[in-house]
Amino acid sequence: MVSPDEFEHANARGVQRRETGPTAVSARYDKRVHRVVIGLSSGIERSFLPHAAQGLEAARPADLDLIEISPSGLGLHFPKLDVDLYLPALLEGSLGSREWSAAQLGKPGGRAKHAAKAKAARGGRPRTASAT
């Protein structure tokens, strides 16, 4: 549960962020390049692959044809998926929470196939050399 003080502090941070950084003024899914394109108040456009973002991994193009911008301009909402993304985090290159990002980084290692991993999976813990 968020305390009233935490809520006020978060609101103050949001106001500061809105006053000092760009906000979203448009958002759309571009089917030609398979990217979500965000138009910023600074006149710059940024885009990202939806399958690389938390909550959008399994999204189909039809799920992405409606994107809502929060009143503050700091959030994107995908109503068909009930997914929200935070614009400042996207602009910093973060496409999900820390936990989600860490899990994504670990996936290739978990899928790796090599002899040592297969042997460890079959035999459990490797034997230690006994002292004689």
Average pLDDT over residues 82-98: 83
What secondary structure letter does DSSP report for 130? P
Please give the single-letter amino acid code of residue 112.
A
CA distance linking residue 117 with residue 111, whole number of Å = 10
pTM comes to 0.66
The helix, strand and coil proportions of the chain, stated in percent and rounded to the nearest 5, come to 40, 20, 40
Strands 75-78 and 83-86: antiparallel
Q: Where are the domains of the chain?
A: 21-106
> What count of other Cβ atoms lies within 10 Å of the Cβ of residue 83?
19
CA distance linking residue 119 with residue 115, whole number of Å = 6
Greatest Cα-to-Cα distance within the chain, rounded to the nearest angstrom: 74
In this structure, CATH architecture of domain 21-106: 2-Layer Sandwich (3.30)
pLDDT digits (tens, 9 = 90+) for 14-49: 677 667 779 999 999 999 999 999 999 999 999 999
